[in-house]
Structure 1
Amino acid sequence: MTRTPADPHSVPAELRPYLREVVHRTRSVCGSHLVSVIAVGSVALGDYRHGRSDTDVTVVVDTPLPRGTLTELAAALTHPALPCPAAGLELVVYDEGFAARPSGEAGYLLDLNTGPLLPGKVSLDPAQSPAFWYVIDRSVAHQAGRVLHGRPAREVIAEPARAEVLAALRASVREHSAGEGHLADNRVLNGCRSVRYCRTGRWQAKRRAAQAVAAAEERYRPLLTAAVHSYERPRTAATTLPATDVRAFLDWVAAQVDETADSERTGQAPGG
């Protein structure tokens, strides 16, 4: 079995002691069943911003763990029992059999959200949650996940089918269009990331994606510039963006995702 030690310099300095402790506590609870602990999200894509970003972690175990073990793991990692220095920790546990196959389902064993700026959540039932977040996160993990312990992400997490990822993007844009529970800058930058995935098949950091979209779409440049500037501030100091402009941009993003999905179903180039 391949074991890859984490490169400490691949993790932001502000998170290193915390993520070492996350790995330690996860190993203590899961024991020999632990396969991998993988950083995803902004850490994986190289755009973590302290005071703004969550810390996203994917855990893979070799068998579905008992409910009691999963509850114990959640308790061991929940803020403030383990103080989270980031805005929050979003940790998802999968069993190896599920993670190794492409899927459009949520499929998790445990979904834990905790931290100083993140509403708490402990779910052991994937039917409780929309699947699209998990599909997107597994795609990011497969492409860019940074191993903190165990086997590399590409060995243990399958890339979901592109059609499933596009469907997940469309669902995420719908949620961001509604706006509830999401900062405006994050809604806009996630939209940029969706457009870049449609055009390149690769995941980019939010700010890099916004720069690329702004360069190609002059009409949205002022909004995207404002969103990046807001994103560079702490979460509690995010600026207000014009609601009408945000909605118009996300409507355009939704159309881009739909056009990409339709063209790939019919075998035509977008716009053809």
Structure 2
Amino acid sequence: MTRSLVDPQWLPVELRPYLEDLVQRTRAVCGSHLVSVFAVGSIALADYRHGRSDIDVAVVTDPDLPAYAVRELALSVAHPALPCPAAGLELVVYDSDFASHPSGAAGYLLDLNTGPLLSNRASFDATRAPAFWYVIDRSIAYQTGRLLFGSPVRQVIAAPTRHDLLTAILASVREHTDGEGHLADNQVLNGCRSVAFCRTGRWLAKREAAQMIAASQDDFRPLIETALRSFLRPRVAALALPTAEVRTFLVWVRERVEEINT
């Protein structure tokens, strides 16, 4: 039973005990320096799929949190010290001075990837990371972040500027086009979400965005529908998508983002 989560009814039932433990461990390590903990990503967009989605969490602390505590937190919540019930945990820690101002930088104190299907990685140097992931996550957090503990999201985190956000979206599309290690269905669905944002000014769940784009783009509808079917499967059972068709679609996505970014 959850004991301290804010509005646990908004959270997937499979994750509530885990998120309770995560918040408790974060409070134990950060103490009075902890400002907020909130869920972003698929949880914030009400599109979490158990066995497929990661758990995305942002932590905001005051700037006086000691560096040793940041490293202690990485150890305390890493899988399997805290067994992750999802594909993985992606946890980012910001200090409140950085988080409260719009920025196009990565800006984190800690970026932790851990879990059954993720390689354990803890980064403490934000200058070495591509910024776009974090800019997009902070935008989603500002729009619909789900508070788990502490001060309300919009009191502690600022939305990126339109310029910084569109620059980040374009960088994301380029990464999905040219980068390695991405699931093909995720490449397509994230592309749909990027175009949907450019059209609506809001972040939509991947499936909602994909349905919007499929309804208006007959040429890409079969590819998008296959990506949606794949998204319903566990990550380890994702469907293969034609590489050339995925790339053609992402080139189209990039052109749409560039149009609005000019």
Report whether the alignment pairs 1:109 with 2:109: yes
CA distance in 2, matches of 1:66, 1:250: 42
| 1:100-151 CA-partner distances (Å, limit 9, x unpaired) | 0000000001110000001211011001210000000000000010000011
The aligned counterpart of 2:133 is 133
The aligned counterpart of 2:241 is 241
CA distance in 2, matches of 1:109, 1:179: 25
The aligned counterpart of 2:97 is 97
Structure 2 portions without partners, runs of 5+ = none
The aligned counterpart of 2:145 is 145
CA distance in 2, matches of 1:53, 1:107: 24
CA distance in 1, matches of 2:183, 2:129: 20
The aligned counterpart of 2:84 is 84
The aligned counterpart of 1:215 is 215
CA distance in 1, matches of 2:5, 2:113: 26
Give, as a single letter, the amino acid of the residue that structure 1 aligns with 2:164: E
Contact 2:33 2:64 in 1 (8 A): no
Contact 1:179 1:187 in 2 (8 A): no
Report whether the alignment pairs 1:196 with 2:190: no
Deviation of 1:64 after TM superposition, in Å, equals 4.5
Contact 1:29 1:72 in 2 (8 A): yes
Contact 2:185 2:227 in 1 (8 A): yes
Aligned residue runs from structure 1 range 253-272, under 5 A:
253-262=253-262
Give, as a single letter, the amino acid of the residue that structure 1 aligns with 2:168: A
Aligned residue runs from structure 1 range 164-179, under 5 A:
164-179=164-179
The aligned counterpart of 1:73 is 73
Report whether the alignment pairs 1:36 with 2:29: no
The aligned counterpart of 1:10 is 10
Deviation of 1:66 after TM superposition, in Å, equals 2.2
CA distance in 2, matches of 1:71, 1:8: 28
The aligned counterpart of 1:55 is 55
| 1:26-76 CA-partner distances (Å, limit 9, x unpaired) | 000000010100000000000000000000000001115222111100000
SS of residue paired to 1:250? helix
Give, as a single letter, the amino acid of the residue that structure 2 aligns with 1:111: D
Report whether the alignment pairs 1:225 with 2:225: yes
Identity rate, percent: 63
SS of residue paired to 2:240? coil
Structure 1 portions without partners, runs of 5+ = 263-272
CA distance in 2, matches of 1:169, 1:77: 29
Deviation of 1:163 after TM superposition, in Å, equals 1.0
CA distance in 1, matches of 2:191, 2:165: 14
